Structure 1
Amino acid sequence: MPADFSLSPLIAATAQWLTRAYPPGGGALDTALAEAQARQAVTVAAWLRYPTAMDAALVAVAGPGGSGRLDGVTGTAGDGGGDEDADAWRSWVDEVVASWAAALLGAPELAAAATRALGGSAYTAGAPVEFRRLVAPDEHDRRAAALLRHPDLLAPVADLHRDQLLDRLAAGPVTLTG
């Protein structure tokens, strides 16, 4: 199993934010497929953004920033009906990771480049890691996540930090460990 350097809460919250901002269209299967795609995109983005254990530890201590700006950009809001505890997960949403994940979901060639950049990283060491639903979605995946993969709908979020993602990918593979 690859190391996650304690990014699990950030990945879970950011993937949840994406699937709520760009909900699947069908039933339980579509929801599961859309969630899997969002989780894969967010995982790749988080691993690129926080390539070392120290990076992950720092974001765990400082916090990722929350979904406030993203909520404003997309017009989404907390769904807890005024109950702050119901929306506490939103504080673990990472704006940059959400932006990078949106860019990856809207551009398969960018997603492929991002997953290649993770080759040799501490995250991919050990057991094989696969991101098929992200880089090679089938018809069921595309239909289930029609909003989540629509480049025009994703653009307001993806464009927030796309240049940073492109700079990160231009820097070469993530090879830092632990």
Structure 2
Amino acid sequence: MLTDLSPLIAATARWLTVAYPPSGGALALALCEAQARQAVTVAAALRYPTDIDAALVSMAGPGGAARLDWITGAETTDGHPAEEWAWRTWVDEVVASWAAVLLTDAELAGTAVAALTEGEHTTATAAEFRRLLTPDAGDRRAAALLRHPDLLAPVAELHHGQLLDRLAPERPLAA
């Protein structure tokens, strides 16, 4: 059984950078991709904290990008050969939503990175998520669309409550 989340992480990060492209050239693309990948890595490790969780999503599949495309108005696969878009079947809507939240809420991103110590997948330190946690001016410029709270709101709001529940299950329910 595959317990590696890398196909899901790669596809979901790619979807984010296609839906919210970088501003600038090749360096901006690399910086934007790094931020998306870090956010998606944290979100995936939180969503699938055990090897069993990862194996189950690998067997069942994460669901694909169709709903996310509809919500954001992103380009569809119409008119494109299927093999060019096969990666989109590995996009995980919940992970994309959680990553969108982490990209727009620095405090929650810090809490999420700290929570990674509870899962089986991650031995990473906060320093490995620097571009997510403490982006510099270049990072912010490169990922202006990817970090824009208003633009990411439709995606972030999809599963925001589930992320809060995962990070603080003991919190009281809102009245």
Aligned to 1:153: 151
- Tell me, in whole angstroms, the C-alpha distance in 1 between the residues paired with 2:30 and 2:94: 24
User: Secondary structure at 2:34's aligned position in 1?
Assistant: helix
Tell me if the contact between 2:43 and 2:95 (Cα under 8 Å) persists in the aligned partners: yes
The superposition leaves residues 106-129 of structure 1 with CA deviations (integer Å, 9 ceiling, x where unpaired) of 11111111001112432233x646
Task: State whether structure 2 residue 154 is matched by structure 1 residue 164.
Answer: no
Query: Percent of pairs identical after alignment?
Result: 67
Structure 2: segments with no counterpart, 5+ residues: 171-175
Counting matched residue pairs gives 168
Match 2:5 to one of 4, 7, 12: 7
Aligned partner of 2:122 in structure 1 is 124
SS of aligned partner of 1:64: coil
The CA distance in 2 between the partners of 1:69 and 1:32, in whole Å, is 26
Tell me which residue corresponds to 1:28.
26
Deviation at 1:148, TM superposition (A): 0.2
User: d(CA) in 2 for partners of 1:64 and 1:78?
Assistant: 18
Partner Cα separation in structure 2 for residue 87 and residue 124 of structure 1: 29
Match of 1:68 in 2: 66
Q: Is the 8 A contact 1:80 1:86 kept in 2?
A: no
Residue by residue over 1:25-44, the C-alpha shift from the partner in whole angstroms, topping out at 9 and shown as x without a partner, is 10000000000000000000
Per-residue deviation at 1:169? 0.4
Report the counterpart of residue 88 of structure 2 in structure 1: 90
RMSD: 1.7
Structure 1 alignment gaps of length 5 or more:
173-178
**Which amino acid letter does the alignment assign opposite residue 91 of structure 1?**
T
- What is the CA deviation profile of residues 110-161 of structure 1, one whole-angstrom value per residue up to 9, with x for unaligned ones? 1111001112432233x64610000100010000000000000000000000
Q: Which residue of 2 aligns with 1:176?
A: none
What residue number does 2:173 align with?
none
Structure 1 runs, 4 residues or longer, greater than 6 Å off: none
Letter in 1 for 2:167: L
**Residue aligning to 1:175:** none
Are 1:43 and 2:41 matched, yes or no? yes
How far residue 77 of structure 1 moved from its aligned partner, in angstroms, is 2.1
1:137 aligned to 2:129? no
Is the 2:43–2:98 Cα contact (8 Å) retained in structure 1? Answer: yes
